[in-house]
């Protein structure tokens, strides 16, 4: 009897060891992450014990990852560099921004002489775009009153004064309704490279390797649906994209380039921006 009990204990131990642990992934409402949203909506992630944490900003995704509340984050190279950790690298690429990160304003720079309110997510790639804009336009940062808000808060505000906003799709749609126009974007410069990827660290990659591989498979599968039936795809993901119509969705898809299967050109871009990338197999 003792022997049978001992065997059962060993069996239970091995079952518990082999049981898949939940993988938590943080992602904000960036249009380049829609394959993740589609996989989540269709239940593909849940079947693999993957939990998608929908955040309000890139900064929140970074903060959750820093505090070990999530095991991976969907982000740009800017947030990756803020981590300053050698054990973290990109394990899957999503897209390159080609106009979907932008600067918008509700005024004419040529007719303004007072200080300007500028809204952005400071601890994110928004700030990189803002600094690039200042350099390109030969502007001084002290011309602006900088306000640090997440994009949801920025899109909901009402603006009566001259205002500059650094934003990204899908939030541009709401701002256009409020009279804001795009004055600069990642489309306007080949030197401003913004890459979105899935990042994690060596320990979590070892623990969740098969689940990460599944995420890439689901992303490729979702992109096939997007290509074949964009309307059906939009209907599945629209709850993740606040205030976003189908026409907004289609328009902004033209402002990103999918790089899930990176070619030689993309790999050279990664080298240029010094982004560490290792595809899991």
82 & 42 share domain: yes
DSSP state of 142: G
- Whether pTM > 0.85 for this model: the answer is yes
Give exposure, 116-141, as e/b (b: 16+ Cβ within 10 Å): bebbbbebbbbbbbbebbeeeeeeee
In a domain, 3, yes or no: no
pLDDT (mean) for 264-269: 96
Query: Among 139, 160, 188, where does a domain finish?
Result: 188
User: What is the number of structural domains in the chain?
Assistant: 2
Predicted local confidence at residue 18, as pLDDT:
52
Structure tokens belonging to residue 120: 């952005």
Distance between CA atoms of residues 181 and 120, nearest Å: 16
**The 3-state secondary structure of 46-108, one letter per residue:** HHCCEEEEECCCHHHHHHHHHCCCCCEEEEEHHHHHHHCCCCEEEEEEEEEECCCEEEEECCC
70 class by beta-carbon count within 10 Å (0-12 exposed, 13-18 middle, 19+ buried): buried
The reply to whether 198 and 181 lie within a common domain is no
Kindly state the helix (H) or strand (E) to which residue 199 belongs, with its residue range.
strand 195-201
| C-alpha dist (Å) from residue 57 to 81, 123, 150, 185, 261 | 17, 9, 6, 19, 26
In contact, 222 and 38? CB cutoff 8 Å: yes
Q: In the prediction, which pLDDT does 16 show?
A: 43
Assign 244 to helix, strand or coil: coil
pLDDT of residue 266: 97
- Which H/E stretch holds residue 205? helix 202-228
Evaluate whether residue 15 is within a structural domain. Answer: no
pLDDT at 6 over 60: no
Give the CATH number, domain containing residue 265.
3.40.190.10
Considering 151, 169, 188, which residue would you say is the last residue of a domain? Answer: 188
First to last CA, the chain: 45
Same-domain check for residues 258 and 204: yes
Give a yes or no: residue 9 inside a domain: no
Structural domain of 235: 23-96+193-273
Mean pLDDT of the chain: 93
Is it the case that residue 81 has pLDDT exceeding 70?
A: yes
* Block residue for tokens 């320990």: 203
pLDDT digits (tens, 9 = 90+) for 178-191: 999 999 999 998 88
């Amino acid at each position: 009897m003792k022997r049978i009990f001992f065997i059962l204990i060993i069996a239970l131990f091995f079952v518990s060891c082999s049981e898949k642990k939940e993988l938590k992934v943080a992602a904000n409402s960036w249009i380049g992450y829609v394959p993740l949203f589609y996989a989540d909506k269709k239940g593909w992630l849940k079947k693999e014990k993957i939990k998608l944490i929908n955040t309000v900003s890139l900064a929140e995704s970074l903060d959750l990852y820093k505090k070990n509340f999530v095991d991976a984050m969907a982000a740009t190279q800017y947030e990756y560099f803020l981590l300053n950790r050698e054990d973290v690298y990109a394990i899957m690429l999503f897209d390159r921004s080609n106009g979907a990160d932008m600067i918008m304003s509700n005024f004419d720079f040529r007719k303004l002489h007072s200080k300007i309110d500028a809204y952005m997510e400071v601890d994110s790639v928004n700030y990189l775009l803002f600094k690039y804009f200042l350099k390109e336009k030969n502007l001084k940062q002290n011309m602006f009153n900088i306000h640090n808000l997440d994009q949801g808060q920025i899109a909901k505000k009402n603006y009566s004064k001259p205002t500059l906003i650094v934003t990204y799709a899908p939030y541009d749609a709401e701002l256009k309704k409020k009279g804001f126009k795009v004055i600069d974007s990642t489309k306007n410069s080949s030197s401003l490279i913004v890459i979105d990827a899935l990042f994690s660290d060596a320990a979590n990659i070892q623990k969740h390797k098969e689940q990460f591989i599944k995420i890439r498979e689901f992303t490729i599968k979702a992109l096939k649906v997007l290509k074949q039936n964009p309307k059906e795809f939009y209907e599945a993901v629209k709850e993740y994209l606040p205030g976003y119509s189908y026409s907004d969705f289609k328009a902004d898809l033209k402002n990103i380039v999918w790089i899930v299967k990176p070619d030689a050109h993309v790999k050279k871009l990664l080298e240029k921006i010094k982004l560490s990338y290792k595809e899991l197999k």
